[in-house]
Amino acid sequence: MDHFTYRDGALNAEEVPLARIAAEVGTPVYVYSAATLTRHFNLFREALAWTPHLVCYAVKANSNLAVLRLLGGLGAGMDVVSGGEYARAVAAGVPGERIVFSGVGKTRDEMARAIAGGIRQFNVESEPELAVLSEVAAAMGAEVPIAVRVNPDVDARTHAKIATGKSENKFGIPIARAREVYAQAARLPGLRVVGIDMHIGSQLTDLAPYRQAYGKMADLCRVLRADGHAISRLDMGGGLGIPYRRGNEAPPLPLEYGQVIRETVGDLDCEIEIEPGRNIVGNAGVLLASVIFLKRGEGRDFLILDAAMNDLIRPAMYDAHHDIVPVAERPPGAAVAPVDVVGPVCESGDTFARGVELPGLEAGELVAFRSAGAYGAVMASEYNSRPLVPEVLVSGDRYAVIRARPTIEEMLGRDRIPDWL
């Protein structure tokens, strides 16, 4: 469910007409719904109400400070994968004891910054990282909580570029070597083993891979406890999918996901951590764009928008689908025709959809890309020297620009020409 609905013949974000935002902010622009963010976060919290838990929002999905502040105010923890994301979480007011630091390539500086600022735990992904984190923590006179990310070699049945739990993926320690690595961690100074971490992929629409992976996690927890490790936390990762196509079968609900966790590890008396990102923010956002031209071609027509692959790269990178809808509502049964929806960037890959059935749209009319709140603005670039797309947050009948569109002069002003040129 989201809060983008047609009202009085036009698509609204909560109680704000998208056409008003387009007129006052310009397009392309991302628009987020605070009510949808709140609802989706609360669904995960309710799904784990049966046990002590922390819902750690995956900052990589959408790292805008206003989004982080809203979720942090609801009690969310944060899952970060860089020093910059850690700084964003702290700047948004989230305390260190609610921040989990993941990622395969943490630097010494990033480790030190998180230790100094406060951290709930590091999710360690390799033996070299164990050794370096031990050195950094010991040099600072600190003891830091850690969980080791274990790769269960489970096929998440998702896109190859967002699968993370198979043996050929770069993430985590092979489960066959987990006991050895945990024994090594227990011997190192500056580290305190508290948990197990596992994350098998993103945009999962089937609970079976979770059940398989979490069953392996439960078995490992019992073995590690028998080895003398005080395992008190289980970080289950995230990755629950969202419905990108309206009318198709919906992915599992957070409540069903929470039940799988309960059935697989609920008897272990551990605090549960989960790291949802897409499922919280994905359907809470749309990308609003304007039509530039309708171009008639040989055998196909092209709807050219002012949004491009640099604003929303998911279709080009992942062959991802986003429903594209006109902002001005059409009557039932209105005539439609197939068009390729494209942007102005000089790449053939700057194509959002091929042969999508849309009503006739004129230059200046607005369209919205649904389910664009996750991995949209956060992956945007200035390719073709196009200024970064702005972001807007709506709450009820009000909205605020939460990241402004830079001017071309501001974009150029970041470059420096050396004196000798």
Taking only the tens place, the pLDDT of each residue in 234-260 is 999 999 999 898 766 688 999 999 999
* pLDDT top residue among 239 and 77: 77
Could you give the 3-state DSSP secondary structure of residue 228?
coil
Which pLDDT does position 165 carry in this prediction? Answer: 42
pLDDT value of residue 166: 44
Exposed / middle / buried, residue 64 (Cβ in 10 Å: 0-12, 13-18, 19+): buried
C-alpha closest to that of 380 among 78, 34, 28:
28
pLDDT at residue 159, as a whole number: 45
For the chain, list the domains and their CATH numbers.
Answer: 4-31+284-413 (2.40.37.10), 50-276 (3.20.20.10)
Crossing angle of the two packed helices 254-265 and 34-47, in degrees rounded to 10: 20
Which pLDDT score is estimated for 245?
Answer: 87
Asked if pLDDT for residue 139 goes beyond 50, the answer is yes
Q: Is the pLDDT of residue 345 over 50?
A: yes
Residue 414 has pLDDT above 90, yes or no: yes
- Read off the pLDDT band of 156 (50, 70, 90): low
pLDDT at residue number 78: 98
* Inter-residue contact 305 to 367 (CB < 8 Å): yes
Give yes or no for a contact between 205 and 162, defined as CB atoms under 8 angstroms apart: no
Across the range 215-222, mean pLDDT stands at 96
CB 171 within 8 A of CB 149: yes
Q: Is residue 346 annotated as a catalytic residue, yes or no?
A: yes
**Binding-site annotation, residues:** 239, 275-278, 314, 318, 347, 375
Rounded to 5°, angle at Cα 76 from 254 and 369:
60
Minimal CA–CA distance to 402: which of 140, 29, 10? 29
pLDDT surpasses 70 at 213? yes
Q: Looking at the whole model, is its pTM more than 0.85?
A: yes
CB-based contact 303:358 (threshold 8 Å):
yes
- pLDDT category at 336 given cuts 50, 70, 90 is very high
Burial class of residue 140 in the structure, from the number of CB atoms within 10 Å of its CB (0-12 exposed, 13-18 middle, 19+ buried)? middle
CA separation for the pair 334, 313 (Å, rounded): 30
Mean pLDDT value across the chain:
94
The rounded Cα 361 to chain-centroid distance in angstroms is: 32
Which position among 56, 221, 270, 346 bears the catalytic label?
346
Q: Is the pLDDT of residue 299 over 90?
A: no
Q: What proportion of the chain, given as a percentage, has pLDDT over 70?
A: 95
Which of 64, 70, 61 has its CA nearest to residue 35? 70
Strand pairing class (301-305; 53-58): unpaired
Binding residues for pyridoxal 5'-phosphate: 239, 275-278, 375
pLDDT in tens, 162-174: 444 444 556 789 9
| CB-based burial, 298-322: b 16+ in 10 Å, e otherwise | eeeebbbbbbbbbbbbbbbeeebeb
pLDDT score recorded for residue 249: 67
Comparing CA positions, the residue from 415, 374, 412 lying closest to residue 391 is: 374
